[in-house]
Amino acid sequence: MPQPPSGEPAVVIADLVMRYGDTVAVDGLSLSVPGGVIAAVLGPNGAGKTTTLETCEGYRRPQSGRVRVLGLDPVADRRALLPRIGVMLQSGGAWSGVRAHEMLRHVAALHADPLPVDVLVERLGLRECGRTPYRRLSGGQQQRLGLAMSLVGRPELLFVDEPTAGLDPQARHTVWDLLRELRSGGVTVVLTTHFMDEAERLADQVYVVDHGRVVAAGTPAALTAASTVGPQQASLSFRARPGLDIASLEATLPSGFQVLEQPAGEYAVLGPVAPGTLARVTTWCSDHDVLPEGLQIGRRTLEDVFLELTGRDLR
């Protein structure tokens, strides 16, 4: 698939501001998505994700700031951009009485070189509901049809708004696999989600959005690794007989680590755990005839990152 010239990001947003009356939906949002990645715009309800995506798709004109998609202005260059992007809206996008396959064939016919409809129907589990009118499809089927419609034109860049909302776990994995395959084929995917596991497992780049601004950005690994390990955060934990000599265990660890027993028989090693830390803890256990049960290394999640940045959780 064609790609933007190397080095040119697929999407650039600079200081975007969007208001609905007195509501500031997007408040100086900036981000840059490299080509060929899956990028997740992650944030709670009302954070401004959909408005941002709709601006990239050319449905809304920036009230202030600048948006470029594949190097083009989504409003002024709409005719040149539309054949190159796929758009899956959060809901709707099809006539209520139209049958599922009919709708997909119609969209396919609008493109110069569409994907084979039957392949998409099979892949997205839409075979059974081909003759069902759109309004009678289940939420999950409407969702999958919307994704098929966004893909059928072989886009270089795909915008998907909450692609797995309302899907059962199996359908969710099918969608994730499909998006990964698209990335392997060179397609850039920009999705919104408020599922932190979706962002963590699927995305190469995550933009955490709150109140219309990007409050953190990076790879999931970098975002969750950025060390803000506080004194109360257990980095490694295990269960063993109560009353272990925790001062002796602490003495084997680099300075800055703390070992707690709380409640009795449950141990927490607090600090930035590295592979060597794990070796020291298990060696100490072995030397003291202790079998550490349920040994776990705690990892920060994007949910933790969001909580630290905003003081609220994502839902």
- DSSP class per residue in 92-152: --S-TTSBHHHHHHHHHHTSSSPPPHHHHHHHTT-STTTTSBGGGS-HHHHHHHHHHHHHT
CB atoms within 10 A of CB 109: 10
Q: Which residues contact 34 (CB under 8 A, 6 or more apart)?
A: 9, 10, 188, 205
Q: How far is the CB of 27 from ligand ATP (least distance, A)?
A: 10
Residue 58 touches ligand ATP, criterion: CB under 6 A: no
Residue 49 touches ligand ATP, criterion: CB under 6 A: yes
Residue 194 touches ligand ATP, criterion: CB under 6 A: yes
Q: How far apart are CA 47 and CA 31, in angstroms?
A: 15
Q: How far is the CB of 194 from ligand ATP (least distance, A)?
A: 5
Report the DSSP pairing between strands 157-161 and 85-88: parallel
Residue 46 touches ligand ATP, criterion: CB under 6 A: yes
Q: How far is the CB of 205 from ligand ATP (least distance, A)?
A: 18
Please identify which residue in 10, 11, 16, 25 interacts with ligand ATP, judged by CB under 6 A.
25
List the alpha helices (DSSP H) in 162-273: 169-184, 196-202, 220-225, 246-251
Residue 43 touches ligand ATP, criterion: CB under 6 A: yes
Q: How far is the CB of 3 from ligand ATP (least distance, A)?
A: 28
Q: How far is the CB of 305 from ligand ATP (least distance, A)?
A: 17
Residue 23 touches ligand ATP, criterion: CB under 6 A: yes
The residue among 43 and 58 lying less far from ligand ATP, judged by its C-beta, is: 43
Its sign, for the CA torsion 171, 175, 176, 180, is: positive
8 Å CB contact between 18 and 48 = yes
Using CA atoms in the order 216, 220, 226, 228, what is the torsion angle rounded to 10 degrees? 80
- 38, two tokens: 């899956």
Task: Determine the interface stretch with ligand ATP among 38-46, 243-251, 256-264, 304-312 (rule: CB under 6 A).
Answer: 38-46
Residue 188 touches ligand ATP, criterion: CB under 6 A: no
DSSP run (H or E) holding 106: helix 100-109
| Total residues in contact with ligand ATP, by rule CB under 6 A | 12
Q: How far is the CB of 222 from ligand ATP (least distance, A)?
A: 23
Instruction: Considering only residues 1 through 20, tell me which ones interact with ligand ATP, judged by CB under 6 A.
Output: 20
- 288, two tokens: 């003291």
Looking at residue 253, its amino acid is: L
Task: Determine the interface stretch with ligand ATP among 42-50, 77-85, 103-111, 260-268 (rule: CB under 6 A).
Answer: 42-50
Q: How far apart are CA 221 and CA 216, in angstroms?
A: 13
Residue 48 touches ligand ATP, criterion: CB under 6 A: yes
The residue among 79 and 315 lying less far from ligand ATP, judged by its C-beta, is: 315
Report the interface residues with ligand ATP, using CB under 6 A: 20, 23, 25, 43, 45-51, 194
